[in-house]
Amino acid sequence: MTSEPIVLIEDNEDDIVLTRRALTTNNIRNPLVIARDGAEALELLLGTNGSTVKPAVILLDLHLPKVDGLSVLKQLRDDARTSNTPIVVLTSSKEEEDVIAGYELHANSYIRKPVDFDQFTEVVRQIGMYWLLLNEPPPA
């Protein structure tokens, strides 16, 4: 697996803890960088201070404070620095409009968060296996 960080954009502390536990359970050792709202995520990834994180994959919730997830996705796709970064929408939203909008804004994947921890752990394992091990990212 790559050593680049995984960026989790999530405001729910329980989901942050679950994601961290699922990564640990699956021996995914990439650093986990957390942004707890959309504005923090944009600063982290597109920062005005010149220092930005270059993640292996971004896990993006849609229901975020300050800047919603779809707006974050659009801004990340519109910026050359993050236009090719894998973005997995990982959300509890079951709204068909959110799925359509996510793909129209070029999310690489849309996954509904399972409520059950074992199922959630399996989803995280599969995300890690695919995006960190099997996927061939574009050249830098």
Q: Each residue of 76-111: pLDDT tens digit?
A: 999 999 999 999 999 998 899 999 999 999 999 999
Count of CB atoms situated within 10 Å of the CB of 125? 16
Whole-number pLDDT of residue 58: 98
Q: What is the pTM of this model?
A: 0.94
Whole-number pLDDT of residue 94: 87
Whole-number pLDDT of residue 64: 97
Lowest-pLDDT choice from 2-11, 31-40, 45-54, 130-139? 45-54
Whole-number pLDDT of residue 137: 85
First to last CA, the chain: 17
Whole-number pLDDT of residue 74: 98
pLDDT at residue 1 tops 70: no
- 29-32's contacts with Cβ under 8 Å and 24+ in sequence apart are 29/1, 30/1, 30/2, 30/3, 30/4, 30/5, 30/6, 30/56, 30/128, 30/132, 31/3, 31/5, 31/6, 32/5, 32/6, 32/8
Whole-number pLDDT of residue 51: 67
Whether residue 56 contacts residue 140, with contact meaning beta carbons closer than 8 Å, is answered with no
Confidence of residue 3 (pLDDT cuts 50, 70, 90): confident
Give the model confidence (pLDDT) of 14-60 as tens digits.
Answer: 999 999 999 999 999 999 999 999 999 999 999 876 667 899 999 99
